[in-house]
Amino acid sequence: MPCDQTQNQLHGYLDGELDALGAANFEKHLETCPDCKQSLSAEQSLHRSIQQAGLYERAPESLRRNLIGNLAARSEVKPFPAPRVSSWRWLAAAAVLLLTVLVGWQQLQRPRGLRGAQFMAASLVDAHLRSLQPGHLTDVESTDQHTVKPWFDGRIDFAPPVRDFASDGFPLLGGRLDVAGGRTVAALVYARRKHIINVFVEKAQPESNWNGAGESQGYHWLAWQQDGFSICAVSDVAATDLEQLRKLISEN
């Protein structure tokens, strides 16, 4: 493979965007091409210094407050729109609604297999969203794993694996209890740059025995089984970051 062809691929490789075959081909090329190897390591070091520089700027609290006030004002001022739909349309709408509810109910009734995974992922993404509301993130706020781990004792009947990975760029922020899919789960909260990652842990059981990764409402999730636990990480960080955290958790 000539080098000019690999220039773009190098970036795809760096960003974890090549498919398995592409990545393997590129790695093969790296072995024989010192130039590309050097470019890759230069790109990696640029990437690291951008990550470490703390360039992300969060929205000021005043903006959030104004916006919520503004939205409230907008949704109150507008009068309730008068229904101008003839009655048979209402009937049709009601029938569609009934059908939707029935189908939805059926799906809720079998949270197993692939559907079960999607159901579980959706409820964990919801739990992640809830946790981002002010004051909902942690019940025990500490970067010390020796404070967070014992906090779960007596609150749940299992001991989730709690480790701080600050030196790997995933500092522990704390933990809390949450409910997903009708079960109580332990939630460990990590930071990645300025983003929040929730790692949900529960005892493995037939309903929660699922693996995989996906995306829902703009959030990534990654689920795996480990030492009798079902674990699922949810965040708006890149899927590659979740994969990195999964490696850290399962290797420690």
Residues of this chain that bind other proteins (CB under 8 A): 7-8, 10-12, 15, 17, 42-43, 46-47, 49-60, 62-64, 66-68, 70-72, 74-76, 78, 80, 129, 132, 193-195, 215, 217-219, 236-239, 241
By the 10 Å C-beta count (0-12 exposed, 13-18 middle, 19+ buried), 197 is classed as: buried
**Taking the complex as a whole, how short is the minimal distance between the CB of residue 36 and other proteins, in angstroms?**
13
Cα separation, 32 vs 23, in Å, equals 15
Cα dihedral value 65, 69, 70, 74, nearest 10: 150
Residue 233's nearest CA partner among 166, 143, 160 is 160
Nearer to other proteins, 178 or 202 (CB): 178
The residue (of 63 and 159) whose beta carbon lies closer to other proteins is 63
Separation CA 125–CA 119 (nearest Å)? 10
Nearest-approach distance from CB 127 to other proteins, in angstroms = 12
- CA 70 vs. chain centroid, Å, equals 29
Smallest gap from Cβ 57 to other proteins, in A, equals 5
Residue placing its CB nearer to other proteins in the complex, 73 or 114: 73
CB atoms within 10 A of CB 183: 15
Least distance in Å: CB of 98 to other proteins? 18
What is the smallest separation between the CB atom of 192 and other proteins, expressed in angstroms? Answer: 8
Nearer residue to other proteins within complex by CB, 149 or 220: 220
Nearer to other proteins, 49 or 167 (CB): 49
Inter-residue contact 26 to 43 (CB < 8 Å):
no
